[in-house]
Amino acid sequence: MPTPFETTRSGTETTLTIRGSLDINTAPALAEEIDRIVATKPAKVAVDLASLDLIDSSGVAALVKLYKAIRGYGGTIAINGARDQPLAIFKLLRMDRVFNI
């Protein structure tokens, strides 16, 4: 089973790739990774959701936490690649416009 998320850094940009299911069981581990990312205050964060198959409200909450934290210190964040069920959830919550998905 692949790792549900992975962080890579290139210069001032950090990319967070999330795979599989981001849900109430996997979101706590992601939240810890988010804390580590935010602690380094990267100027730009890219979140790659192209391999994310399922998300629930706990997963959305984790992404909102990341978004607010990055924006809170003036960083930029781009959420890319959402499709299928996750995209439907972002649209239902009207977060697709805020996240510019």
Partner 1 sequence: MSILCWVMAPTIRLTVPGTLRYRGIAVRVVAEAARLVSCSVQRDPDDPLAHDVRDPFDTAVVSAFMEIFNNVAIHAYKRKGGGTIEIEITPGEREIEIEVRDHGNPFDIEGVAPLPSDLDEESLPEGGMGIHIAKTMLDEMTYEPGPPNLWRLRKRLTEQPIAGRS
50 lies in the binding site for partner 1 (CB under 8 A)? no
Stretches 5-13, 16-24, 33-41, 42-50: which one binds partner 1 (CB under 8 A)? 16-24
The residue from 32, 43, 61, 73 that contacts partner 1 (CB under 8 A) is 61
- Interface with partner 1, residue 25, by CB under 8 A: yes
Contact 55, 22 (CB under 8 A): yes
| Paired sense of beta strands 52-55 and 20-22, if any | parallel
Distance CA(87)–CA(100), nearest Å, equals: 12
Residue 82 · residue 90 · CB < 8 Å? yes
Q: Which stretch binds partner 1 (CB under 8 A): 4-12, 15-23, 35-43?
A: 15-23
Q: How far is CA 21 from the centre of its chain?
A: 12
Using CB under 8 A as the criterion, which residues of the chain lie in contact with partner 1 when the complex forms? Answer: 20-21, 23-25, 53-54, 56-58, 60-61, 64-65, 67-68, 71, 84-85, 88-89, 92-95, 97-98
